[in-house]
Amino acid sequence: MAQGSVDSEFDRLDDVSAEAYRIAVLEGQFRAEAIAAELGLSVEDAQRTERVLRVLRLLHPTPGDPRRLTPVSPDAASSELLGPMEEHMGQMEQHVARLRSQLAALQPIYFEGRKMRNHLEAFDTISEPDTIQSLIDSLLKRSKTEVLTVQPGGARPSHLLESAKKSCLDMVSRGVRLRSIYQHTARTDPGTQALARAVSAEGGQFRTTDEVIDRLIVIDREVAFLPQRRPSASSRAAVIVREPTLVNYLCSVHELLWRSALPFGESDADTKPVLDEVKRAIIRLLAEGHKDELVARRLGMSVRTCRRHISEIATELRAGSRFQAGATAAAQGLLGPLADTP
């Protein structure tokens, strides 16, 4: 048995062992036969009592006669037995204090790292279009509750629309609430019409408006995708937003646009309200002094189509110039919002 350790089987002083110790103190030695006779113990029990007292350092072999066991005081036994334990505990306390100090020194590093990680997790930028689309597709496939989108511009390529239709139908079939906002000019595109009608029939919702914000995708109100805008204006990078407050804000922006947009995909037989809105937006932008190219870009139409509308507007208002058309429209109160939108 190692010094300073206690055999768990004998680490408790029972009444029999205490009485045997009393007798040994009185006689000046521990004699197993005499103690067994006096206490009515068997030889095995007397030997066990001896082992208990030796483990507790209450019996020591006599120098020169190892078979003769002499009782020692409890204080001496305590010092011999607990001294190494207390020394070990002191060393452990020093070790614990040293480790605690070392770990505490890492706290600033941890919090700074967490701050950086939270920033990276809340905002990320991806510059490769294929990577962006792959990530969007993956998150859309795993969406559970809601997907909100804003798609600026007019007609989109047919292969993109076909892929979007499959994705939208998959989402609505899983019970995901889908609300997409396009610009009015998308209504004249057969591919977009087919997409809106097919998905609307399964529960998806589409609306259009004259002008929208940049492209936006919000998935389950947890992650949002925004285009990154740089001075070069040629970047196709996307910013991924996971910060809850900002994501909720983007959802509120989508809701504001949604309220003022016109339903699309249910029945497009009456296109006059939409056409009126398009012309009204053109008049407003002309009145602000914008050129045809900018008007066309903001309304998601070609310059040729935009100029055709401008010509029709000028004819209807009997205006000889863009400025005169805007001024006449303002004088007639045509630049205000529509009174009733479906």
pLDDT in tens, 232-266: 555 678 889 988 899 999 999 999 999 888 888 55
Nearest to 154 by CA among 282, 298, 284: 298
pLDDT in tens, 263-293: 885 554 445 566 667 777 777 777 777 777 8
* Residue that the structure tokens 């100090």 belong to: 101
Residues facing 216 on adjacent strands: 150
pLDDT of residue 336: 53
Q: Which helix (H) or strand (E) element contains residue 148? A: strand 146-151
Q: Which two tokens stand for residue 186?
A: 């998308």
> Model pTM?
0.53
pLDDT in tens, 66-112: 888 999 898 888 888 888 888 899 899 999 999 888 888 888 887 77
153 three-class SS: coil
